A and B are shown apart, each in its own frame.
Chain A
Amino acid sequence: MTAAVPATAFVAHWSRPARLRSAANDLAIGLPLPLAAAALVARAGGWPTAFAVVVAGLALVAMVAHARSRRFDKVWLVRQLDAAHPELEDSSDLLVSDANLGPLQRLQRQRIAARLAAIDAATLRPGWQTRPIAAAWLIGLAIAAAALSWPAAGGSAPLRPRPVTARPAGPPRLIGQRLRITPPAYTGLPARDAALTTRAPTGSRLAFALRFAPNPTSAVLQGVDGRRLPLTRSGDLWVASDTLNRSLLYRVVAAGAAPGALQRIDAVPDVPPTIRVIEPERTLTPMAVGQTRWQLRFDVSDDHGVAATARLRLIVTSGEGENISFRETSRVITGSGDRKRRRFDTSLDIRSLGLTAGNDIVAQLIVADNRMFGRSPNPQTSRSPSLILRWPPDLGQEAGGLDGMVKTVLPAYFRSQRQIIIDTQALIKQRRRLAPDRFLAQSDTIGVDQRTLRLRYGALLGDESSAAPVLPTSDAPAEKPRDDALPKQDRLPSGHAADDGHDHGSAKPVFGSADDVLADYGHAHAESDAATLMDPASNSLLRQAVDAMWQSELNLRQGAPEKALPFALIALARIKAVQQATRIYLSRTGPELPPIDLNRRLSGKRTDIIAPALAPAPRASDGVNAVPAAAWRALAGPGPVALGGVQAWAAAHPPADPLALAAAIDAVQRDQGCTACRKALRAQLWAAMAPPPAQVLRRAASDMAGKRYLAALQ
């Protein structure tokens, strides 16, 4: 340091470490103070105020620290230097003296200035004030923690109080409410507290606890539908309890006060269990070859709980064709899984159930839930779809290795009369193009077909023919031995065989019985009218048909299809007539036709005929909607609207959401001037009204210009 340095700068340089250390000490001691104060203030007045307190406190601490660092001045420096460094020879005041010094003084100053260079300014600063700092922080933090974590006054009360701003006076007001809902035990739901508008399972116990200020003389829960549930006073609380059987729309009414707002409690009904079939995948399962067991698997879920056991209904059919009998058994299956979702698995032994080929097992699961009404169980049951296991009828034959031995029945191939007509007409058209011999051959072929058909119909009439076709059916009789192979005594004089189907009478002639002459010597062929089961009219028609076929066959065989065609057509017409005649009609619910007045029948007179009432029955067009429509119109305009009729109408024609309509009606009844309420009620009424049939609004009349225009158009 040289003497050129002014005294103030010298002091500042040497006292700076000390001033800094002193300020740091002061800050460290003072800092917890504003923080603790801020925590206290934050608890009382909120965080913005606390922030302001922190800022102000910090400023204060800084000011104090600054003021305290002033004491490190020239006097302190001289004293400190002299005290700490004896090598300065108590002459340090010379270093800070600005006065004119004597020569000796200047010499001494140069000497100690040289020594001063070896001294560090930091040796002059005071030490850290650790104890006060630690104490200050401890106290400050303790205060802050206590202020922030002190429990709030009051705590959570069981009743939720509304903030009471004024002294309770005037009409009673609802200041606290609690609705305890205890669902039925079978649901397994816990009891809970709810708001006054809520949803709860049907059958829940509702316990209301209300608090009024001041206490009214009486209070009631008034349902919109007229139900009343009086509240009884117990101490400060007004309590009532009820069972929720159907949805409620109510309000709290205290004597001497305006009724409260509408509250709504929706009763949620128990739903029946739902059954999902996991296995088999399809309703109808054909039995596989070698299958011995049938696996069934069901998944049942319910909103509250499924009964632990379910009943499996089994129906086994037996027999075939129309002779089928049923055997019903049932067995109990125990489910697995939790209460709300259970699985029912079973495996049926097919053989022990007695299933035979061509028959079915029908299985159905019947499962109940755990619903109870009061103390008595009242379960709801659900049934699964019927699952069918079918043993296919042909499975047995295949299993028996009889595949190749199935006999097929050959159908009888012959042409119908209509086909013969079509063929004949086609042949006539082809006549020019065909060679005569080929034409004749084709005509003959059709003739053969006609003959086959004639014999077929003739058989119905009892005709006999040696050449009647023997159909190769599986039930054909065994081939008879030839006639000439028969013993002689079996031949009758007429040449007939004894067992040829005709009545040949008794073998021994009896004297006097002339009737048997024919039987003995003649050949009583079957009388056409008596030989079949048909009535005489049909029989004669069929006879005509066969005769016509005869003529048709004759001409076809002679190569004259033109001549054959009319007979073929006659034959077809007769056959159709027989078919019509023999069709049987059964009247199920026969029309009750009025008796025919035979005096007027076919007379052509139409007098005194009453016009039948075919006009549609009149129907009241606006009848259903009259009441709500009138209210709906009135609500669009100003003024009070009487809504009693609408309430009665809604009771008779319940809409989709009756409670919403009731609430809307109630809101308007309470405040007829409330525009929003009226609009809400109009919307509810619109939804409740059935759409009217489309009516007709005629167009407006034209004005004078329009009329002139239309007149000029003509």
Chain B
Amino acid sequence: MTALGMCLALAALIGIARLLWWQRTSPAPAKPWRLALLAALQIVTAGLLWLTLEPPPISGHAGTLVVATAGAPRLAMLAAGDALVALPEAPTLAGVERVPDLATALRRHPGTRALRIIGTGLPPRDQTITDLPLAFDPPPLPRGLVSLTAPAPVAPGAAFRVGGYVNNVPGGRVTLLDPAGRNLASAPLGPLGEFTLAGTAGAAGPAEFTLRITDAARRPVETAMVPVVAAEPVLLRALIMAGAAGPDLKYLRRWATDAGLGVSASIAAGNGLDIGDATPRLDAASLAKLDLLILDERSWAAIGAGGHAQVLNAVRGGLGVLLRVTGPLPDATRREWAALGFAADDATSPLRLLGEGPVLTQVTTRPGRDMAALPGAPAGHWRNLGRGRIALWPVTDLYTLVLAGEGQRHGAIWSAIFATIARPQAASPPRLSPDAAPGARMTVCNLGSAASVRQPDGAVTTLIVDAGCAAFWPRLPGWHELRGTAATPFLVTPPSPARAAVQARTATLALVQPGSSATAAPPARGPSWPWFLAWLIASALLWWFERSRYGRAIPG
């Protein structure tokens, strides 16, 4: 398009230059007004030819409704040729029809066959109104926090992660503050503005952490609230079977007891002597009562082939099994674990955790393709086996964290491993739609027969549950409490303007159907024949005028 325009401009320039050259060399030079008219006709002809080849877009078909949303540029609103309606979020402009919502606009314009959205996008209220073809030219993302992934409910004291994207803050930094305003973690923004921060939850209950974004000059850009719900955990019953006592085992039991887990241990002292709590039985009934079984290579070898079969059967039914490596593996165990997908060497390698702390030792492992890394733990992998999970933990001296004064971190790593591997809860907790905001509909699923919501002002709304799900329109910002089989707190907070704009933008982009012509070429081209006619007339005029005698100095 620009190449064509440049070619035409060049041709017009050459034509004008030729006119001037003629004027210079002609024995009978033309009068100035004739020269000017000829040059102007050159430009007009070139312009008309360009319009013929690239006809300008017409501002809308018949039946296209232009909808102005929040942040719609006034110029675009003025230029919209077709029927224009403005949603309440749009900027005010005299003479524009204002509608309370999109449904009203469609009712008032029954012939609408397509929609064109200008501005940031449709608000949540209007996102599910219509399936008309939709054209939307998304505006650029605003500066600041455009996406924030709040953590799912965590256990008290456990680690959680917050991630998101910050747009257009080069060299910026994000800091996570705890509810008391103390600095928990800080990290520079990635090259794309992405970040991930880790924090530690406190006592059970709803907590408000704060995310602070500063630019390269450490000036504050934005502050966002991060709701973190620490949920009271259900009892987890774990059995630790160890071939020998050791410091790692000692601190694991210390943490498990402090964390309130139902943990029992069986520690072989050789020659059939067990110095644990009680000698366990590995039959199907007792394994079904367990949520997590922790074995090391010696206890794995000790339970024998029958025990292996029982344990793997129980894993298929949901049990979690954690295989600890405490030393060199016997060949038979190495083969059996490799068959499960956990190939391990005798070689050890140092393992350095993020930040300060002692250097740990891990046995080198070669995880298979269907392995997933243990979250929150720097080494180790797990895989599904039936409904259960089985994991290999190759770190042999995690206890040195406690000796180095990082007991909280030691517990957080075990907590993450246990939470990943252990048998799932019998009842799944209610599932809430994210980013609840006042006035916006939210859905709650996985509900029992009766459920209600206690609002921040103390009013209780009974939900109407249909097929396990219900809808709820929060009125007030603040902590709500969903009361079903258990109480689940959730935070309703109005989103910041930037995040609201990004949400509207993303949701509206999702509404644009990829196959519709409106999206493929939003500005439809008009017909070119009127431009062609005009070009023909102008060319004919130019041809005639060049040959006419008007304005020529008559020689002699």
Contacts and interface: CB of A to CB of B under 8 A. Distances in A.
Interface string A689-706: 101111111111111000
Interface in A601-642: 606, 609, 611-612, 614-619, 621-622, 625, 628-629, 632-633, 636-639
A615 B202 contact: no
The prevalent SS among residues of A at the interface is: loop
B159 A606 contact: no
15 contacts: A615-B277, A616-B250, A629-B205, A637-B454, A682-B179, A683-B180, A683-B181, A693-B258, A697-B419, A698-B422, A699-B419, A700-B424, A700-B425, A701-B427, A710-B384
Contacts, number: 162
B178 interface: yes
Contacts of B444: none
B275 A612 contact: yes
Given A629-B204, A691-B408, A696-B236, A702 B422 contact: no
A629 B200 CA distance: 16
Contacts of B179: 682-683, 686
B458 A639 contact: yes
B489 A697 contact: no
B284 interface: no
Contacts of A696: 155, 158, 233, 236, 259, 261, 415, 418-419, 422
B274 interface: yes
B165 interface: no
Given A612-B275, A615-B257, A632 B411 contact: no
A707 interface: yes
B341 to A, nearest CB: 13
Interface in B204-220: 204-208
B458 A686 contact: no
A356 interface: no
| B: contact size bracket | 35 or more
Interface stretch (B93-101, B185-193, B265-273): B265-273
A616 B259 CA distance: 12
B282 interface: no
A711 B387 CA distance: 7
A691 B199 CA distance: 12
A467 interface: no
B334 interface: no
Nearest to B153: A697
Given A686-B178, A714-B386, A698 B425 contact: yes
A406 interface: no
B19 interface: no
Contact of A611 (B254, B276, B457): B276
A696 B423 CA distance: 12
Contact of A694 (B155, B250, B478): B155
A679 B181 CA distance: 12
Contacts of B384: 710, 713
A686 B156 CA distance: 13
Contacts of A675: 478
A392 to B, nearest CB: 41
A697 B387 contact: no
Interface of B: 153-159, 178-182, 200, 202-208, 231, 233-234, 236, 245, 250, 253-255, 257-261, 265, 267, 271-278, 291, 316, 384, 386-387, 408, 411-412, 414-415, 418-420, 422-429, 454-458, 478-479, 481, 489
A699 to B, nearest CB: 5
B257 A697 contact: no
A618 B257 contact: yes
B415 A695 contact: yes
Nearest to A618: B257
A443 interface: no
A684 interface: yes
A691 B236 contact: no
Nearest to A617: B257
Contacts of A609: 273
A693 B255 contact: yes
Given A693-B258, A698-B233, 5 more contacts: A633-B204, A692-B157, A694-B259, A701-B428, A714-B386
Contact of B276 (A614, A621, A638, A699): A614
A639 B258 CA distance: 33
B212 to A, nearest CB: 15
A632 B205 contact: yes
Contact of A638 (B156, B422, B458): B458
A687 interface: yes
B254 A616 contact: yes
B408 A694 contact: yes
B484 to A, nearest CB: 14
Contacts of B457: 638
A78 B33 CA distance: 70
Contacts of B159: 694
Contacts of A701: 424-428
Contacts of A632: 203, 205
Contact of A614 (B267, B414, B481): B267
A686 B276 CA distance: 37
Contacts of A686: 178-180, 202, 207
A240 B168 CA distance: 60
Given A636-B205, A692-B157, A695-B259, A614 B275 contact: yes
A702 B423 CA distance: 11
Interface string A589-606: 000000000000000001
A702 B389 CA distance: 13
A632 B481 CA distance: 15
Contacts of A621: 258-260
A619 B255 CA distance: 10
A682 B424 CA distance: 32
Contacts of A629: 203-205
Nearest to A709: B384
B268 to A, nearest CB: 12
Complex A-B, nearest 10 residue pairs according to Cβ-Cβ distance, in ascending order = A697-B155, A687-B180, A629-B203, A694-B411, A694-B415, A638-B458, A633-B205, A692-B157, A695-B155, A693-B258
Contacts of A638: 454-458
A629 B230 CA distance: 12
Contact of A699 (B203, B411, B424): B424
A691 B427 contact: no
A694 B418 CA distance: 11
Contacts of A614: 245, 267, 275-276
A714 B317 CA distance: 12
A692 B202 CA distance: 6
B157 to A, nearest CB: 4
Contact of A697 (B154, B250, B277): B154
Given A636-B479, A701-B425, A695 B233 contact: yes
